[in-house]
Amino acid sequence: MCNSKIRVAVCALILTILLCCYNHYEDMVSGNSNSKALAGKNVKIADLDGDGIADSKDSDIDGDGVSNSDEEAINSDPFNKDSDGDGKLDGDEYNKDSDGDGASDIIESAKKDSDKDGVVDELDADDSSIHNDSDGDGFDNITEVGLKTDPLDANSKPAPKDTDKDGKLDKDEKGKDSDKDSKSDVIESAILDADSDGVVDELDSEDNNSKNDSDGDGFSNIVEKEAGSNPLDAKSVPQIDTDKDGKLDADEMGKDSDSDGKSDVVESAILDVDKDGVVDELDNNDKDPKNDTDKDGFSNIVEKEAGSNPLDAKSVPQIDRDKDGKLDKDEEGKDSDSDGKSDVIESAKLDADSDGVVDELDSQDSNPKNDSDNDGFSNIDEKSAGTNPLDPNSKPEIDSDGDGKIDSIEKGKDSDNDGKSDVEESAKLDADSDGVVDELDSQDDNVNNDSDGDGVSNIDEKNAGTNPLDPNSKPEVAKEPIKEDVSSEPIKDEGKKALKEIKDILLVEHIKFKTNSAVILPEGLVTVKKISVILKKYPDIKLEIGGHTDSDGSAAYNQKLSQKRVDMVKRALVEDGIEADRLTTKGYGESKPLVPNSSSANKAKNRRVEFKLIGE
C-alpha cells in the first residue's frame, strides 16, 4: 500500500513537470519573449505511449487501456502498462480479481508470492497468511506445498493423516477439543494416558495431573482408577473408606460435621486423637483435650473423666474441683470475693492464709492482713480476737498497747495531743520514766516536758512526789537550786539559742507527712512556719535538716523517702523567705533510730525531722 502511494506521488510530480514543459512550449509557439529563441527549432513533445497526444493532455499516459484516474483509484502505475510486473498488461487485467480478495489483478502479481505459501498473490485471497486454504480442501496452502499437492486444486489433497496415532484421522478430529483444555483432538491421543490416571489424554483436561477429577464426583481420576470405578462417570464412585470409620467416602463427601474445615472423608468417626472423649469427626480441635465442644463451660477431657457427655450442653459433670462440697456446675460463673478467680477453683472450706476467711470469700488469699469487711481490723486480727472478719458490725475487743483499754474504745482519741492515737500509746507504760504515762505525755522521750504547765518538769515533779499532771500540785522545794543547770543559764551563742528553740517546738509537735509520701500535711506546714520565724530571728546561722524513717520497707526506699521529705521541708522554708544557702539536707533513712523499731509507738518516734548546726 505504501509503495502504491509513493508511485502515485511520483506520477503526480511527473505530470506537473510535463505540464510545465507544455506551457513553456505553448509560450514558445505563441511568440512569448522567453520562447522566441526556440522558435523554428524542432522541439519533441512528451508522449509516453506515442499516440500523438501530449502526456500532459493524455487521459491514458501509458496507453494500457486504463485511464490515469482509474489507475490512481486502484493504486496502480499510470506510467507502466504492467503495474505488477507479472507480464500481463494492465488493460487485460482491468476489472479482474482472480482471488476475490477485493484487490485488482492489476496490482496483484501472477508471479510474486508474498507469504511464500505456494500460491501467487493474484490467486491467494490472503497474501499474508501461509495457513490460508485457497482451494478449500481442508488443508492450508503451506501444508499442501510441504506435501507436494496443489494448493489450488481441491481434488489434489494430502494422503489421510493421523497425527496423534489414535486411529482417528486428523480431518475428522479437526476443530474438536473433547476435554476443553484448548488442545485439539488432532494432537491429543484417544489411546495414550500421559499421567496414567485412567483417563486418555483426549478426554483428560489435565494430562499431567493424576489428581484431576474429570467427572467432578469428588474423587480424583487416580483414586477412581485404583478403586475400579469410572473416572469419567460421576455416578460411578469408589467404594472406599479413607478414614476407615465404616462410612464410605461417597456418603461423607461434602460433609464437615465439626465445622473445622476438614472433610468427614479424612476425619474418623471412630478415632479420638487427643483422647478427650470426642471422635475426630465431631471434635473441631482434634489435638486439644481442653476443647469444650458443647460449650457448657467444661472441657471435653473433664466431661470424659466425670462421665458426662462432652457433646451435650445439658449433660454437665457432677464434679467439685475445689472440693468444697459445691458442684462446679453450681459455682460456674460466680466470683464471690470479686478477685477475678472463679468459685469453681476457690474453696469454700480452705483458708490458704489462715486469716479466718475461706478462699472463696477472701479477695486476698495470701494476705492475712486483708480487711474483708472493711471495718478497720484485718482478718487475722479479727480471727485472733474472735470476731467475724466478714461482718463490719462485729469488731474485735483488742488492746494493742496492752493498757487494759480495748482499741475500739481508744480508736480516734489522742489524749496528749501528740498526733499519736491512744490505741498505740499505753495508759500504763512510761517510756521516759518521767512519771507521766505515754498516753498522757505529749513528749514520751523528754523527761523535761511539763505536762501540766505549772513550770515544773515532769521528772522534777516525780522526784518531788507531786502530780506532774496537776498544775495545782507543785513541789515545795525551791526552784532555784533545781534550775541550776545549763538550761537555766543565759545562752549566749545564737546558734545554740536557735537550735534549742527549734528542738523545743519539735518536742511538742512534729513535721507530719502523708504516708509513704514527701507531701507535708497542713499541720506539718504550721510547724515549718514556726521554725521559719526562728530562723529569721537568727539570720546568721546555718542548719542541716536531717530526715529519719522507721524500718518498714527496704533501706534503700526509706533513704530516698527521707531525702525527699527534708528536701520538701527546705523548699517550704525557702518559699517562706529563708535563704537556700543557709540550709542543707540529708536523708538518713532508717540508719539512726532513736529507739528499737519493735512497736508502733517506737516506730512513730523514729519517724522524725531533726535540725542541727552545720559544723556541729
Q: How is residue 292 written as a grid cell?
A: 469444650
CA gap 121, 402 in Å, rounded: 132
Question: What pLDDT is attached to residue 295?
Answer: 92
**pTM more than 0.75:** no
Residue 232 has pLDDT above 60, yes or no: yes
Q: What angle do CA 519, 534, 544 make, to 5 degrees?
A: 60
**Residue at which a domain ends, from 111, 136, 170:** 111
Are 99 and 20 in a shared domain? yes
Read off the C-alpha cell for 358.
475461706
Per-residue pLDDT band for 306 (boundaries 50, 70, 90) equals confident
Average pLDDT, the chain: 86
Give CA–CA dist 185/172, Å, rounded: 9
Backbone angles phi, psi at 588, to 5 degrees: -95, -10
In this structure, the answer to whether residues 470 and 558 fall within a common structural domain is no
Instruction: Clarify whether residues 74 and 102 are in a common domain.
Output: yes
The predicted pLDDT at position 285 comes to 95
Q: What is the pLDDT of residues 352-375, one digit of tens each?
A: 999 999 999 999 999 999 999 998
Lowest mean pLDDT among 278-292, 479-493, 494-508: 479-493
Residues 479 and 498 in one domain: no
Q: Give the pLDDT score at 271.
A: 95
Instruction: Note the pLDDT tens digit of each residue in 77-120.
Output: 999 999 989 999 988 998 999 989 999 989 999 899 999 999 99
In a domain, 388, yes or no: yes
Q: How many residues does the chain have?
A: 616
Mean pLDDT check: name the lowest of 186-190, 473-477, 515-519.
473-477
d(CA 127, CA 118): 10
Q: Is residue 267 part of a domain?
A: no
Residue 476 sits in the same domain as residue 499 = no
CA distances 25 to 44, 239, 531, Å, are 10, 106, 138
550-580 as b/e, with b when 16 or more CB fall inside 10 Å? bbeeeeeebbebbbbbbbbbbbbbeeeebee
Last-in-domain residue among 457, 489, 521: 489
Strand partners, 513: 520
User: In this model, does residue 325 exceed pLDDT 80?
Assistant: yes
* Mean pLDDT of the 11-23 span: 55
Q: How far is CA 128 from CA 66, 112, 255, 366, 395, in A?
A: 28, 12, 58, 96, 113
Asked if residue 589 lies in contact with residue 555, where contact means CB atoms within 8 angstroms, the answer is yes
Same domain, 485 and 498: no
Residue 571 domain-assigned (yes or no): yes
Does 274 reside within a domain? no
Q: What confidence category does residue 488 fall into, taking pLDDT thresholds of 50, 70 and 90?
A: very low
Q: What share of the chain is helix, strand, coil (3-state, %, to 5)?
A: 30, 5, 65
Both 516 and 541 in one domain: the answer is yes
Cβ 467 vs Cβ 461: under 8 Å: yes
CA 610 to chain centre: 56
Cβ neighbours of residue 189 under 8 Å, at least 6 residues apart?
A: 164, 165, 166, 200, 201, 202
Residue 8 pLDDT > 80 = no
484 lies in the same domain as 505: no
Distance, in Å, from the CA atom of 272 to the CA atom of 266, rounded to the nearest integer, reads 13
Q: Is the alpha carbon torsion for 605, 606, 609, 615 positive or negative?
A: positive
Q: For 135-187, how does the pLDDT look when each residue is reduced to its tens digit (9 = 90+)?
A: 998 888 888 888 888 999 989 877 778 889 999 988 899 889 999 999 989 89
- Asked whether residue 219 is domain-assigned, the answer is no
- 532 in a structural domain: yes
Asked whether the beta carbons of 317 and 308 are under 8 A apart, the reply is yes
Backbone phi, then psi, for 520, in 5-degree steps? -80, 130
Same domain, 426 and 480: yes
Question: Mean per-residue pLDDT for 571-580?
Answer: 93
Q: At which of 111, 139, 162 does a domain end?
A: 111
Are 542 and 455 within one domain?
A: no
Q: What is the mean pLDDT of residues 541-560?
A: 92
Model confidence at 40, pLDDT cuts 50, 70, 90, reads: very low
Helix boundaries (H) for 386-493: 407-410, 458-464, 479-482
Q: How many domains does the chain have?
A: 4
- 21-30, 194-203, 325-334, 460-469 — which is least confidently predicted? 21-30
**Does the pLDDT of residue 588 top 50, yes or no?**
yes
For residue 613, is pLDDT > 50?
A: yes
Per the domain annotation, does 520 fall within a domain?
yes
Q: What is the C-alpha end-to-end distance of the chain, expressed in Å?
A: 120
Task: Output phi, psi for 221, to 5 deg.
Answer: -55, -45
In angstroms, the CA 214 to CA 201 distance is: 11
Alpha-carbon distance values, 296 to 56, 86, 241, 308 (Å): 110, 97, 33, 11
What is the Cα–Cα distance from 540 to 496, expressed in whole angstroms? 12
In a domain, 549, yes or no: yes
Residues 97 and 16 grouped into a single domain = yes
pLDDT in tens, 49-79: 788 898 888 898 988 888 999 899 899 999 9
Q: What is the CATH number of the domain that holds 600?
A: 3.30.1330.60
Residue 382 above 50 pLDDT?
Answer: yes
Domain residue limits at 559: 494-613
Which pLDDT value is given to residue 35?
A: 36
**What is the dihedral sign for C-alpha 95, 100, 102, 105?**
negative
Residues 455 and 472 in one domain: yes
